Amino acid sequence: MCQHQPPCPSADSADRESARLVAHHPEQGWSLLCNGVLLFEDTGELLPDGKIIAPHRPLAGTAVTAA
């Protein structure tokens, strides 16, 4: 799927999120990376093989609540 040179990290790489965006739909809360990973606004991911990665990062600037 990725046609970049050098190739982006594959979907099964730990570095998969550093692949380039090929589609970005902030109004729907997701982005598609060139390695086939669907990256959701909450940092959850859907891999091309159907595997789901749970959100793993707080949202920058929005997750801060007073203790």
The residues that touch Zn ion, with contacts defined as CB under 5 A, are 2, 4, 8, 20, 34
Nearest to 40 by CA among 62, 20, 55: 55
Q: How far is CA 56 from CA 1, 7, 16, 40, in A?
A: 25, 25, 14, 11
Q: Give the nearer residue to Zn ion in terms of CB position, either 3 or 65.
A: 3
Q: Give the nearer residue to Zn ion in terms of CB position, either 2 or 32.
A: 2
Name the DSSP letter for residue 9.
P
Q: Give the nearer residue to Zn ion in terms of CB position, either 32 or 53.
A: 32
For the CB of residue 8, give the shortest distance to Zn ion in the complex, in Å: 3
